[in-house]
Structure 1
């Protein structure tokens, strides 16, 4: 089961619960804000969260992490380059707000790591690096469910900004083509700031057709 929850402190962001319906155990992806709202959902639905997964280290994706980790006592995982963002409010952009954020207790993942649910080892996500929006950008992919949680790498009809620390347009576009567009066309792409789309839908967008023609 996938539950999309809009959360906002400064910027509206999609947080996602990815839950095994048989055990009600699962993962929370990109809890950017409103920890009390997310905890209430956990309580009401009877979810047992095993891990928090981050697609990248910007403040609007990590804003609720410290409160949730304190309440739930679960690991926080992000791509190995995430240390630059977790430890530095300038890089994670929270220095621009009145609430600078640092994350202390983080597990940094090697590329192409499988994140396996302890309650059901058949329920898992595969972490694939998608740098360019940030140096630590990644997606979490499940072949069985035909879904990828893509953060801010790609949206419905556009792709992520690259004018912030660690961003690079050429790197992002190459990452999208190499990693995201190599997934099956039917794969649902669930992003941080747009509605759902698919690989097939994004391959025919004007922004990509211009790249493909080069």
Structure 2
């Protein structure tokens, strides 16, 4: 089961519950704000969140992490390049909002790490490194369900900005081509903002076909 929850404090961001239908255990991806809203959804649906997964370390994707981590005793995971973003409010941009977000007790994972549920190891996601929007950017891919949680790397008919710490346009476009667009055409892409798309659709778009 995939449940999208739009959370807003400064920027509307898509948080995703990726839940095993049998056990109701699962992952929460990119809880950017509104911890109370996300806790209420989990409680009402009977979800048990084992791990919080971050596609990258910008403030609008990590804003509710610390509160939820404490409430659920959930493991927080991100790509191994994420330490600068987790620990430095200038890099995660929260300093611009006056928050100064710092994450603690983060598990840093390598490219291609398989993240599994304790309750059901068959419910899993593959971490695929996609730097370029940030140096720690990654996608979480489920081959079984044909979905990829792509954060801010790819949007509907567009791609992420690269003018912030750790960003680089050439790097992002190269990694989108090599790490996301090589997935099966039917793969649904679930971005950090706005509407879902697919590998098949984005391969046809001028931003991709005309530049890669």
Give the TM interval when normalised to the shorter protein: over 0.9
Distance 1:70 1:27 in 2: 15
The aligned residue for residue 143 of structure 2 is 143
> What is the aligned length?
212
1:132 deviation in Å?
A: 0.1
1:145-191, CA deviations, whole angstroms, 9 ceiling, x for partnerless residues? Answer: 00000000000010000000000000000000000010000000000
1:41 deviation in Å?
A: 0.5
The aligned residue for residue 82 of structure 1 is 82
Distance 1:202 1:210 in 2: 11
Q: Indicate yes or no: 2:153 matched with 1:153.
A: yes
Q: What TM-score results when the alignment is normalised by the length of structure 1?
A: 0.98
Where in structure 2 are the equivalents of 1:52-91 lying within 5 Å?
A: 52-91=52-91
The aligned residue for residue 210 of structure 1 is 210
In structure 2, the gaps of 5 or more residues are none
Q: What TM-score results when the alignment is normalised by the length of structure 2?
A: 0.99
1:99 deviation in Å?
A: 1.0
Q: Indicate yes or no: 2:182 matched with 1:178.
A: no
1:49-97, CA deviations, whole angstroms, 9 ceiling, x for partnerless residues? Answer: 1000000000000000001011111110000000010000000000000
Where in structure 2 are the equivalents of 1:23-102 lying within 5 Å?
A: 23-102=23-102
SS at match of 1:195: coil
List 4+ stretches of structure 1 deviating above 2 A: none
Distance 2:143 2:210 in 1: 29
CA RMSD of aligned residues (A): 0.5
1:102-129, CA deviations, whole angstroms, 9 ceiling, x for partnerless residues? Answer: 0011000011100011111111000000
The aligned residue for residue 194 of structure 1 is 194
SS at match of 2:185: coil
